[in-house]
Amino acid sequence: MSEDLIRLSAVEAVSALKAGDITPLDLLDAQEARIAAVDGAVNALPTLCLDRARARARALLARTGDLEPSSPGWLAGLPIAVKDMNPVAGVRTTFGSRIYADHVPTQSDVVVKTLERRGALVSAKSNTPEFAAGAHTFNEVFGVTKNPWDVTKSCGGSSGGSAVALATGMVWLATGSDLGGSLRIPAAFNGVVGLRPSPGRVAQGPVADPFSPLSVEGPMGRSVADCALMLDAMAGIDPLDPLSREAPAVSFLSAARRPSAPTRVAWSADLKVTPMAAVQREVAEAATRRFEGLGADLVEAGLDLSDAMACFQTLRAVQFATIMGRLLDKHRDALKPEVVWNIEKGLALSVDEVARANRTRARIVQRMARLFETVDVLATPATCVPPFPLEQRYVEEVEGHPLATYVDWLAITFAITVTGCPALSIPAGLTPEGLPVGLQLVGRPGGEAALLSHAAALETEIGFSRHFPVTPKV
């Protein structure tokens, strides 16, 4: 029974929970067995809180506490993994940093509270880079998380632990966050789905910069429908987040369950912002062309987002200085060099540099609005390289093109961050070496429902889900 349960999709598991065919305790038992069997090979879930989850499961079965069973995102006792950037009351939360290695918060953040009200059981914390900085999941508290498709390779980041836990069947849903691609990149590297919603779609907080649209929280799952279900469970307004918005009247899951082909799809291999490995371009373009079989017209985007590079680097540095500037004075020696560099870059910026970045962002937003006057979806590769060796801290060059900073290789995703558009990564196929390649699909601002519907149609056409769960290849 345990093997059968871990193979269920999140949508199937929640349906079975609602019908009373299984209980949350059954799923927790199956999860615990799966974690024991595979996590030693990948190190995705370094902190478990199964006893806490079982206590909450019993309370849920008794219908006690602050619950929202009428919510479209009601999870009915489904165990989930929460990224180690999200405080969970009574559970060790390190942010991947030695500074917080023994930190146990007394309060959960908005994301966790929302999910628990809607029937989620937090059963594990997933590994992340230090302060979610960078797209390779390693830190000095828990070590490195490995890619289950090849444990000598990176799983991406910063939501790497969540992506690996999903791919290996240790969890049915997981949270992620995304500043420059931290949902989309690990989804691509592990063959799962990660959705970066529009700013405000998922309330977050408390945070030091509540008016910034750069960093968002979002869902990760093994399929588009699973991601849509979790987005329903996460969406909504909260007074701690001034950008947050009310959840839509029609659920995101209902949109994913009605797959629809877009009328017109724009393709770009690189957005003119990054060098691109040939295998990434070829696999992602072949997947995009599957839209033509669904009746969509495919056109070259002709989109130049090269100015997003300097814009994002500046705005990211401002955020690092805002959130972590005080840590530099007190804990400099405990911060990894890339974080120190990012904070110092932010502190050294002039008003003119920040103003220039904001003006550039405005032009990019306008450029995207014009594109979406004539197309429904923008498609690109989700990463510029396949999963790279574990011993590399980050990608330093792409097919002979040197990269200047530890985040330059994220440009294909962070250029989209600047636009404010929702974007997801779905599996496009495999490299000749058998490693996943992700396809980034971008929709109109606020257009998650249409994006999920179009992605679901393409997902069915590609048919990648047969690979799950992945047994780590050691």
- Catalytic residue (one of 123, 126, 154, 182): 182
DSSP string, 381-420: ES-SS---BTT-SS--EETTEE-SSTTGGGHHHHHHHHHT
Active site residue 154: no
158 is catalytic: yes
Give the C-alpha distances (Å, rounded to integers) separating 167 from 3, 79, 82, 323, 404: 14, 15, 15, 31, 32
Find the catalytic residue in 126, 158, 215, 425: 158
Active site residue 83: yes
Contacts 24+ apart (CB under 8 A), 104-109: 109/204, 109/205, 109/206
Question: Which among 164, 102, 117, 127 is positioned nearest to 46, based on CA atoms?
Answer: 127
Compute the distance between CA of residue 81 and CA of residue 67 in angstroms, rounded to an integer. Answer: 19
Q: How many CB atoms lie within 10 A of CB 455?
A: 28
Backbone dihedral angles phi then psi of residue 381, each to the nearest 5 degrees = -60, 150
Best CA proximity match to 38, nearest among 231, 215, 171, 143: 171
Among candidate residues 71, 83, 177, 223, the one labeled active-site is 83
The phi-psi region of residue 122 (left if phi > 0; otherwise alpha if psi is between -120 and 50; otherwise beta) is beta
- Asked if 88 and 112 count as a contact pair (C-beta separation under 8 A), the reply is yes
Q: Which two tokens stand for residue 339?
A: 């974080």
> How many angstroms separate the most distant Cα atoms in the chain?
62
Return the active site residues: 83, 158, 182
